[in-house]
Structure 1
């Protein structure tokens, strides 16, 4: 985001470069706190990734290790909030002349909406971490209850509310940038304008708003009010509607297109598939009656990783392969890239599909030895194959590592300024890699981000695309073009 946002909106830098620096070094401090937790007497955190009380209190996990990790969460929240403020301000204030909101590349919409969610909801997680630190170190009892409470007593469920108020928007914090990348890469390699660009933008905005209203589906089993649970169920089911608008627009963009199956496009198509599987399996967990059976089973693990890990990771790899020439001026090897793609796509699908099947058969998660239960004995083979595919998936990532260093330090052919023949400012208005100041002259934007297959453009230029700031031969210039569109 720090690299792409200024380039894609026609700016020379982020709005607050020093705040950018503070955000980075604060994040580094948080990671040092996590590493330091492993050097403590009783070891690092022992309360799981959610750090639920009472397990994360001094009674459940004594020692400074857990305290350092909770402190790291708080410091990470400070870093993320600073970065989010910078992102939001940059997109609002630093856009090039003519770069209206409906001319932003969809990658920018994804990053901007993500930053808004970060700015709103990361402080909620930070407040939960701060209250937990006070419980652990200063004798307060916000989350300590029962026999552990010395006086009064708090409510462990309060922590779950605070955690998931952030935790479910976090799913979209991770997936919205991937949606944005796909929203640009798919039309770029389909050589077509994005189908219903404005509809996709508004669908992403609606998902962003609804993401704040669905967190309670993680807490159906906590004994919440049935009426409140039904409300969360309704909003969780509703959020699938704008998500489906986004996916259908991708599909219609691909319809009857001249698709180029380069490595970034393969990863983009795989992201559509794995997110589709994750979204469909999420409908089961959104329903209270189904969630009573599937909650805390491996089905949840499979769904979560299809949606949050697989879609985000493969979407990120789409961006890595696509913008690598922009960052380094060299293009990653296509054969190695496609080998990496097939290892990743097949491996992810088989690993998490195995978890879905195991969970549907009743296997619980977070058990040291689930096979102590007789009814799970028959799932040993499925678990064994899932583990095998997980190792294969991990091994496949070394193909990318080899490709990265081979391209960066080997005899790679320069990629050229616009190797993908696409339209956005970072490819058409500056070099690859870009200079320190990004642009010698701030571009003036005269069209949207997906100007493909226009007969007039082909007649004037001999190409099937026109850059966002490109003045076509014989045209009236930026001012008239901007007035028309």
Structure 2
């Protein structure tokens, strides 16, 4: 039904969308939503810079598929075919999400140039946002917020923003050279000049820090939310901060482990192998700290906790399988196989996406004033964890059996495992649909939250700044006049409850009783 070029176009679009237009923008979204509340600044350091988000729509359409090409089957031929057999051949860049040269230079496809422009716009928006968060945390914190009591999520965002300032300008320079090679006859990546390997060095010097730009905010969300449902404070706060900073520094020294198979100097390969193994240590520190936080805690399996526990488990699988790839002999065998795809997606879909789902449930009462449907949230978590295992665990097996990635076809002996992975992908799609329905429907019909402490955080002394802000906002709302059906006006209290239909929210009044 689809040819190899269409497959190349689809996985190019998938990779760029996943990294640049899903994971990376979502973390600043949570940052923009909650960071000013938690670090209590009066405003963003550069409020106008928040308009960088307007660059996102222009950037995201650049790598999108366009209309079917003019060539190929004629109009009469297409009219005679059944609708489900008309080939979908989008006019999009099919150079692969890494834009490896010489293919990316030689493709006579203007969509590649538009893709480069979109990545430039995305990078510009990212750098502007990073500058804003750094300056805000340094200069606009509340008087009572010092470095010792800055929350762990803000530490993660600050570190991530620092990585962005060093990594994204290099990507912009590499993309500019690629654009010049494609359109103006320069030879930055020609064999007689820098060569194709120069592109790999430039891309992966950005690309591996980009992995931690994606994952560090997820670590921060996990460290921020996990203690709230473990019934105790985060174990080893300072060690998690130090490990975050260590990851930021080491992330710029491991890029060449993506290039073990390119024939670089064996001495360089050995040094990069050592650093790659070393960077696993601070990640392991975080994992053990999370486990210690759960140990002997009063764990409550609300939806955020279900996703965090599932995400940590999937991250352990993805991390352990990634350590093997740091070994030069193992990497030479598995580098171009589906094993790498499975390893990376266990992390991206596991700890990163799951931490975002956990955050969406945890802060949902604060952002909407309503409670989500807990039953749908549980179904969502179960399907998500099962879907990830069904989708990506078979890819480990086909990778170990030698199936190459970025290939549109595969031998018949891999059919069963590929079918299992396809079923898992549909399970994941259904789970995301359930989450979306839950978010939208609960916003309209969910139980109104009347308790400013819906997670009983005061019991463990973890009633953080954003929930204090939520409590103050609810107090102000209750003191305002409420219109009644008979045209009169009453203020707060019982009249307001009657106007809203009574105390139908779970945990009504528990926090007030504690305050009294």
Secondary structure, aligned partner of 1:11? coil
- The residue correspondences of 1:168-207 to structure 2 (distance < 5 A) are 168-207=208-247
Paired position in structure 2 for 1:27: 56
* Counterpart selection for 1:357 from 397, 409, 417: 397
- Once the two structures are superposed, residues 19-76 of structure 1 have per-residue CA deviations (whole angstroms, 9 ceiling, x without a partner) of 111x11222221243348668879211101111111111x2x1121111001111121
Hey, what does 1:8 align to over in structure 2? Answer: 38
Contact 2:308–2:351 (CA<8 Å) still a contact in 1?
no
Question: 1:84 maps to which residue?
Answer: 130
Bigger mean CA deviation after superposition, 261-270 or 102-111: 102-111
Is 1:121 matched with 2:178?
A: no
- 1:143 is aligned to 189
CA distance in 1, matches of 2:466, 2:233: 18
Listed as ranges, the matches of 1:303-314 within 5 Å are 303-314=343-354
1:213 aligns to 2:259 (yes or no) = no
Figure out how many residues of one structure are paired with residues of the other and give that number: 427
Structure 1 contact 325–415 (Cα < 8 Å) conserved: no
For residue 363 of structure 2, give the secondary structure of its aligned residue in structure 1. Answer: helix
CA contact (8 A) 2:338 2:398 kept: yes
Q: Deviations over 1:233-262 (max 9, x none)?
A: 001100111111111011011111111110
C-alpha distance in 1 between matches for 2:199 and 2:451: 52
1: CA distance, partners of 2:143 / 2:345: 41
Separation of aligned partners in 2, 1:93 and 1:53? 43
State the distance in 2 between where 1:203 and 1:54 align: 38
1:411 to partner: Cα distance: 4.6
DSSP 3-state at the match of 1:401: helix
Moved over 6 A (4+): 39-42, 432-436
1:167 aligns with 2:207: yes
Alignment partner of 2:371: what SS? coil
Q: Which moved more, 1:260-269 or 1:27-36?
A: 27-36
- The question of 1:384 aligning with 2:419 is answered yes
1:63 aligns with 2:109: yes
> Is residue 371–residue 446 contact of structure 2 (8 Å, CA) maintained in 1?
no
Q: Which residue of 1 aligns with 2:493?
A: none
Partner of 1:228: helix, strand, or coil?
Answer: helix
User: How big is the shift at 1:350?
Assistant: 2.1
Per the TM alignment, residue 417 of structure 1 is displaced from its structure 2 partner at its CA by: 2.3
Distance in 1 between residues matched to 2:38 and 2:410, nearest whole Å: 50
Secondary structure at 2:32 match in 1: coil
Question: Unpaired segments of 5 or more residues in structure 2?
Answer: 1-30, 71-89, 458-462, 477-509
TM-score by length of structure 2 reads 0.79
Q: Deviations over 1:252-276 (max 9, x none)?
A: 1111111111000111111111111
Q: TM-score, normalization: structure 1?
A: 0.84
CA contact (8 A) 2:93 2:109 kept: no
Structure 1 vs Structure 2 CA RMSD: 2.2
Decide whether aligned partners of structure 1 residues 209 and 6 sit closer, same or farther in structure 2, where only a CA change above 3 A counts: same
* Higher RCO, 1 vs 2 (CA within 8 Å, ≥6 residues apart): 1
